[in-house]
Amino acid sequence: TIGRVALPEFRGRGYNEPLVVGSLAAGGTLGVLIPPSVILIVYGVLAQESIGAMYMAGVIPGILLTLAYMVTIYVMVKLNPSYAPPENRTTWSEKLSSTVAIIPVGILISLVLGTIYIGVATVTESASLGVVGAFLLALFAGRVNKDMLKQVLLNTVNTTSMVILIISAAFLLTTALSLLGVPRALAGVISDLGWSPIYIIAILVLFYMILGMFMDAYSMMVTTVPVLLPVMMGMGFDLIWFGIVITLLVEMALISPPHGLNLFILHNIRKQVAGEADTGSIAILYRGVLPFIVAVFVVLVLVIAFPGIATWLPSSMRGN
């Protein structure tokens, strides 16, 4: 959605193509971490952790990652000003007036997350509030019609079916692995090795970085988390914190060459937007996302070094 709107604008204004596609591909991963996130739901169910707590845990790392992406763009443009040609200056009144449209949506998001945080509503109840609020906003804007409702219902069925199938497959895999004794055997092997916790995390980070080059996010989550959770629990790791670490690694996987899913989606959009024009190979995307992969890695290191970045907000929830 964003790519189809943004790419023609950036091209028309003379922005650097690798910088543009890199920022769009990386920005597209933020929805994995910032609520509402399907990945956090899947992990919460697998780990039997509160979905509300997982949502709250993703807020601060999500903001940090957003800032890291912004700093990355700023540094790149400072080093090479031709990447982003000067724009016409706007007054503060123009800037403020242009943001009025997002105020209702911002209030709705704050209500949904706020009710979870202060403990007055469950995730399901706050989701219902979000649905009703979004419908009313669309109704007041005159955008509710038969085609819109049909598309919304189809998208809901598709997303719900996907989540149910993923979770069902994950539980089947978990049961099979438990019967075979794989998690217990793996925990025993790691215990016998005598590795320190930080060394274990470093190995996992490397493992997921490599795995993410060849597997999509959900496949990584379903096939690895059921095996790793008993090991992490045995070593005393906070499972909410571990879920955010895994989610950041999944974000990195979505933009990791050669098989990051976001790269292929955006490359296809580039072709659709360009029409008959030559858009170049997908290598442009590979080059464009590298600085943003570094940004994700920096935030990942911060979350590992300072677990409170992920655990403070859930621990302060009124419901806890």
Mean pLDDT of 200-227: 80
Calpha distance 203→79 (Å, rounded): 34
Residues 12-44: tens digit of each pLDDT: 888 988 899 899 989 888 888 888 788 898 899
**Which pair of structure tokens corresponds to residue 177?**
């692995």
Distance set, CA 222 to CA 92, 172, 300 (Å): 48, 10, 21
What percent of the chain clears pLDDT 90, i.e. is strictly above it? 22
- H or E stretch covering 54: helix 51-79
Residues 79-119: tens digit of each pLDDT: 999 898 888 888 888 888 878 878 888 888 888 888 888 88
Q: Which pLDDT score, from 0 to 100, does residue 300 have? A: 94
Q: Which pLDDT score, from 0 to 100, does residue 279 have? A: 65
Residue 75 has pLDDT above 80, yes or no: yes
What is the distance, to the nearest Å, from the Cα of residue 198 to the centroid of all Cα atoms in its chain? 24
Burial 12-39 (b: 16+ CB within 10 A, else e): eeebbbbbbbbbbbbbbbbebbbbbbeb
Residues 151-206: tens digit of each pLDDT: 889 988 887 887 788 778 777 877 787 787 776 777 677 667 777 788 888 888 88
Mean pLDDT comparison of 45-59, 115-129, 222-236, highest-scoring range? 45-59
**Which pair of structure tokens corresponds to residue 70?**
């912004």
Burial 274-304 (b: 16+ CB within 10 A, else e): eeeeebeebebbbebbebbbebbbebbebbb
